[in-house]
Amino acid sequence: MATFLFDKIIFGPVKSRRLGVSLGINLLPTDVKVCSFDCIYCECGFTPKEYEEKVTLPTRAEVREKLEAKLQEMVAENELPDVITFAGNGEPTLHREFAGIIDDTIELRDKLTPKARIAVLSNATMIHRKPVFDALLKIKDNIQKLDSAFEETVKLLDCPKGNFDLKRTIEQLIAFNGKVIIQTMFVRGSFKGQEIDNTTEKEIAAWLELLKKINPLQVMIYTIARDTPIETLEKVSLQELNSIAGRVRNAGFEVQVSG
């Protein structure tokens, strides 16, 4: 199916269904997806072999220069972003200079668009690295993926590359001490002959227990909205998402639903 890549380092602003008017920063290449996951629902398509080969990422200086120019342009046009969002063609925290880039972004935001939040959409695979963890604590919207409380489901849905340890990821999410937003994609379908469904009672009950341990600022739940790399996935209905959201609220957490 028709998935897509962002062709710029700075993209948008776009109206994000979850975040508002969002100016995007893509720290990955503009011609290939680079990610430590290979989610079967990824809008960028499957993670290609190039991930294991050498790819060129934009430098910290390049990102700073382009972000400053775009923010200046937006200020001149009086079109300020609600949020500056690290997203794009893969996992932003894989960038070796991620922590420095966050510092530059905070500095430019404070100077040019002080009301804008900074968001990072991450899959949580790099939060065991201290510079990444510390950088994420400096921003307002530290949005981390947790698609299931079960490692076997994460492996089916998110197809981690290399070593993946859900227990370690959860320990790190807890270590944010509540300064984290959890994002969860709900989806069902089949892939390579295996049935996948992270909306079953067993899944939801275990996921809610984990939320209680992580104690996030907010929970974002959503389902597929655009084309995915495979055609055997189903959207979860808005009614079902709202029912899951009700249980999250009952557990004491703010929740945002995007159907």
Residue 37 binds ligand SF4 (CB under 6 A)? yes
Residue 29 binds ligand SF4 (CB under 6 A)? no
From candidates 19, 25, 35, 236, binder to ligand SF4 by CB under 6 A: 35
* Least spacing, CB of residue 207 vs ligand SF4, in Å: 17
Contact stretch for ligand SF4 (CB under 6 A) within 6-14, 31-39, 55-63, 243-251: 31-39
The residue count for binding ligand SF4 (CB under 6 A) is 11
Amino acid found at 67: L
* Least spacing, CB of residue 2 vs ligand SF4, in Å: 15
Q: Contact 199/238 with Cβ under 8 angstroms? A: no
Rounded Cα–Cα distance for residues 52 and 23 (Å): 29
Rounded Cα–Cα distance for residues 144 and 183 (Å): 6
Q: Contact 106/139 with Cβ under 8 angstroms? A: yes
By CB under 6 A, the residues from 85 to 114 that bind ligand SF4 are 90-91
Rounded Cα–Cα distance for residues 252 and 255 (Å): 9
- 191: Cβ contacts below 8 Å, ≥ 6 apart: 40, 156, 230, 232, 233
Residue 224 binds ligand SF4 (CB under 6 A)? no
By CB under 6 A, the residues from 150 to 189 that bind ligand SF4 are 158
Write the DSSP symbol of residue 82: S
- Contact residues for ligand SF4, defined by CB under 6 A: 35, 37-39, 42, 44, 47, 90-91, 123, 158
